Amino acid sequence: MKRIWQTLTSGMSKFIIVRLLQIILVLYLYMTLVFIILEAQPGDITDIYTANPKITPEAKEAIVKQLGLNKPIYERYLNYLRNFVTGHLGCSFKWGNIRDVPDPVCREQRPTWDLIRERLPRTIVLFLTYTIVSFYIGFFLGKLIAWRRGAIIEYFSTVVGVVLFTVFTPWFALLLVWLFAVNLGVVPIGGFINPDSWTNIRQIGSVDCSIGISCSNIVFNHMLLWLGGLTLFWGIVYLWSRRFPYPWQRNTARWGAVALGLVLAGLFFGGGWLGEIDRVVLARDTKFEFFVWHFEFPAGTIPLFPLALDFVQHMVLPILTLTLISFAGTMLLMRNTMLETMREDYVMAAKAKGLPDHVVRDKHAARNALLPVVTSLIFAIAFSVDGGVFTETIFSWPGMGQLLLLSALEQDYPVAIGSLVFTGIFALVAHVIADILYAFLDPRIRYD
Amino acid sequence: MAPLTTYPVLQVENLTMHYTTRKGAVKAVEDVSFSLDKGEALGLVGESGCGKTSVALTLLRLLPENAQFLGGHVYFFRDGSDEAHARRAVGKPVKILLDGQEHQGRLVEVDRSQLVLDARLNGRTQQIKLGRDDIARLGVDLTALSDEEMRPIRWKGISMIFQAAMNSLNPVYKVGDQIIEAMQTHMPIPIPEARERVAQLFQLVGLDRQLMDRYPHEYSGGMKQRAVIAMALACDPDIIIADEPTTALDVIVQDKILREMRQIQKKLNMSMIYISHDIAVIAEVADKVGVMYAGGLVEFGPSEAIFKSPIHPYTKALMSAFPSIKGEKVKLAALPGEPPDLIKPPSGCRFHPRCPYATEICEREVPKFIEHKPKQYAACWNPLM
């Protein structure tokens, strides 16, 4: 017992625990703020019926009463907090139930949590992918242009990067849609699946998909789990391989883990075992489009990959847009810090040790230059939450940003509050992860 | 092959290097020549900015991008039987030590038993073939190597202890791992063995072996200095260049570390180049001394001879500007004037504006670097004899 307490209170764990407690406090303040701000807005749900003569003032009052909007504000605030703690985020004013069985609490209304559970993974996947891609491109280019200072690539990427960084985001996004989706027709215009193909699906795994599109999340969650699982697996192999006696053994283990992960994922999505979880049953012959290619699948059992690819092709354009717009920030920051670390004595020492050029650059200079850039990554994650409203609207990506916009426009309080709170939780968790990451990247930082 | 009692590991000839700046070329190294024998410690001494570090960086080819290498040769010697060394030398200018004689030429071809050389003999160029076993030393011109060919020489051939050793350890890696990295770059050695070797090196420089799994920020200044020395020793190099190895340390630690370095150098029979502005440090460790002034070598010779009777006025001035703890009390004589601007150095002898012995010729002509006393070279028109 004493030992457990010691581990909990020592260094890193203590830091994480303290940080989590702080987060709970921040979250409480944030939730209160969100509630107050939404309450302070003029009007309520009945405003959307203003232009509808069939809804009489009496009917409006009945709606207000039914939704509990006539209760005093403190009572509603306490209700809201109590609901949140018990894990119930209220019922949507707008969205109707789509399940066969009515919800025990919300009946014909749709529970907010149900909406969020459906949409949060979509936002996380889109923005996590974009953050990683854009961060890596920025990091890579920044490192390169600092290392080969004065080369053509420096002028080119700096000018292009800065222009894209300052351009008006929605305009640029629409321009790319016009170019790649409308004119060239290589990617879908928007949305996150191609409904024509999905309506023919009768079953995914063991779940009956008679309602069609609602099944998309099964595939989506599979992809998410695989991504997370493989990353975790690779991380473990990486740490484990550090103890290997020879460098080539380390590299073999790391690349081997990548290959193994890809093979396993390929087997799963390619129909390697077509079991209880990765089988898709088509009701009739279906055409799947993937960029410019078309696949025709006969009715019957098919693997998951056409559905997974359908997601991927819908993600390409949003990710491309977001990356182009934002990579320059990381790139310029990386360039500056890299130029600074390149002057350090340990970089010269690494060169003198006879290490190959790319090892000096990556392992010694870039590794140290990375530290301040990780800080900017935290801001990038925070940005992805508000940027989501823009991007998801333009690309009709049915994620949290779009949900937030729709519910705010339609005075759907529970959903607006719920999605705001969840984006807040998302940002806070990202901050903690970044803090922990930082402690691992820089051994000089000890949070005790 | 007669065993040699002393043989060269490095010969530097007429090294010249300038830095390009907006104001003009900084003539940082001008016509510097010296040689270093096996097991010998050479001290390069001079004021800050006189080009000592630039010489060291030129040897290792670690110069910044604005540096312009303008000429000279750096011959790095190894045994004629060293396969990798001989292969590397193919097509390059080489120097060969054969029966106590030095031959210069270009290596054309090399195989298991012999070496084909284009060399000037008796006034005309001819191709000669030499048995590998006859060759005592084979020196390859490092300035002719490509970067990739230079890489194996770094650390394995010539390693370096950098100025401000505190900063030459990467803060994000464990000290032991940084030393192992250097070893694994140059030899296929598994980690357990490499760790054992690091432990031995740590013992040699007086560090606890537990420290190899610590990060640099957990070290004190003196400990870092020792770790850096251990790192320089890691690949068992032929030459170690120690650039101001102890400047950042306090006098007591400085003295202790210098003594230990001297001991290690004797024990492993290693060749070393010490670089310092502190003539007291050089006096303590060096067998031979090279005195530099404004980018050029002004005096070179055995340290005893130079400290007893310097030939060049600058050497004398430098010596009397430093206090000695031992010996009688003398008034310190500060050298008047400033070190010259290396963009527009003074004409003739670069030291003449500050030289008390300067005559009219000093202003006009550059003095030749010649042997004034046995083995004691100097570039001066009015040598102090």
Q: Which chain B residue has its CA at the smallest distance from A371's CA?
A: B172
Instruction: Say whether pTM exceeds 0.90.
Output: no
Q: Is the dihedral of CA B287, B292, B295, B298 positive or negative?
A: negative
- Cα–Cα–Cα angle for B302, B307, B310, rounded to 5 degrees: 90
pLDDT of A3 reads 66
Q: Convert the pLDDT of each residue in A123-159 to its tens digit.
A: 888 888 888 898 899 999 999 999 988 888 888 888 9
- Answer yes or no: is pLDDT of A2 > 60: yes
Give tens-digit pLDDT for A73-119.
888 888 888 888 887 878 888 887 777 677 777 778 888 888 888 88
Nearest to B141 by CA among B216, B62, B58: B58
Among candidate residues A8, A333, A397, the one with its CA nearest the CA of residue A190: A397
User: Using the 8-state DSSP alphabet, how is residue B80 labeled?
Assistant: T
pLDDT at A447: 55
Give me the sheet containing A300-302, strands edge to edge.
Answer: A207-208, A201-204, A280-282, A300-302
The ranges assigned to domains in chain A are: 2-113
B215:A346 CB<8 A: no
User: Are A244 and B171 inside 8 Å of each other by CB?
Assistant: no
Contacts of A438 in chain B (CB under 8 A): none
Phi/psi for B62 (5° steps) reads: -115, 25
Per-residue pLDDT of chain B (385 residues; tens, 9 = 90+): 444 567 889 999 999 999 998 988 888 898 898 989 888 999 999 888 888 889 999 998 888 888 889 988 999 988 777 778 888 888 888 888 777 777 788 888 887 777 788 877 667 777 878 777 777 788 888 988 888 889 988 998 999 998 777 788 999 899 999 999 999 999 888 888 999 999 999 988 889 999 989 999 999 888 888 899 899 999 889 999 998 887 777 788 888 888 888 888 888 888 999 998 888 888 888 899 999 988 888 899 898 888 888 888 888 888 877 666 555 666 666 777 777 888 888 888 888 888 888 888 888 888 888 888 888 888 888 888 7
Mean pLDDT of A276-284: 79
Instruction: Tell me the two tokens of residue B202.
Output: 């740590």
Please list the alpha-helical segments (H only) found in A301-352. 305-342, 345-352
pLDDT of A278 > 80? The answer is no
d(CA A437, CA A137): 19
Choosing among A337, A346, A353, A438, which should be mutated to test the B contact, i.e. which has the most B CBs within 10 A? A353
CA-nearest of B236, B259, B161, B174 to B209 is B174
pLDDT at B1: 40
How far is the C-alpha of B175 from the C-alpha of B168, rounded, in Å? Answer: 11
Q: How far apart are CA A405 and CA A416, in angstroms?
A: 8
The reply to whether residue A353 touches residue B154, judged by beta carbons under 8 angstroms, is yes
Element housing A5 (H / E):
helix A2-9
Burial of A391 (0-12, 13-18, 19+ CB in 10 A): buried
Answer whether A346 sits within 8 Å of B169, measured CB to CB: yes
Cα–Cα distance, B31 to B292 (Å, whole number): 11
CB B380 within 8 A of CB B364: no
pLDDT (0 to 100) of residue B104: 82
Compare CB distances from B62 to A247, A348, A364 and report the shortest one's residue: A348
- Res. A338 pLDDT band, cuts 50 70 90: very high
Nearest to A398 by CA among A105, A123, A78: A123
Q: What is the mean pLDDT of chain A?
A: 83
- Higher-confidence residue of A22 and A206: namely A22
- Looking at the complex, report in whole angstroms how far the Cα of residue A5 sits from the nearest Cα belonging to chain B: 26
Which of A28-32's residues contact partners 24+ apart within 8 Å by CB, and which partners? A30/A421, A30/A424, A31/A80, A31/A81, A31/A84, A31/A417, A31/A421, A31/A424, A32/A77
| Phi, psi angles (nearest 5°) of residue B301 | 170, -175
Q: Which residues of B touch A366 (CB under 8 A)?
A: none
CB contact under 8 A, B188 and A246: yes
Subunit contact B185:A354, Cβ cutoff 8 A: yes
Segment among A34-48, A285-299, B65-79, B268-282 with least mean pLDDT:
A34-48
Which residues are CB-neighbours of A140 under 8 A, at least 6 positions away?
none
* Range name among A192-206, A396-410, B295-309 with the lowest pLDDT average: A192-206
Instruction: Give the pLDDT score at A387.
Output: 64
| CA dihedral sign of residues A157, A162, A167, A170 | positive
Give the whole-angstrom CA distance, residue B20 versus residue B143.
19
Size of interface A-B (CB pairs under 8 A): 78
Taking any CB pair shorter than 8 Å as contact, residues of chain B touching chain A are 60, 62, 147, 151-156, 159-160, 162-164, 167-172, 181-182, 184-186, 188, 190-193, 215, 217
Buried b (16+ CB within 10 A) or exposed e, B277-295: bbbbbbbbbbbbbbbbbbb
Dihedral-angle region of residue A223 (phi above 0 means left; psi in -120 to 50 means alpha; beta otherwise): alpha
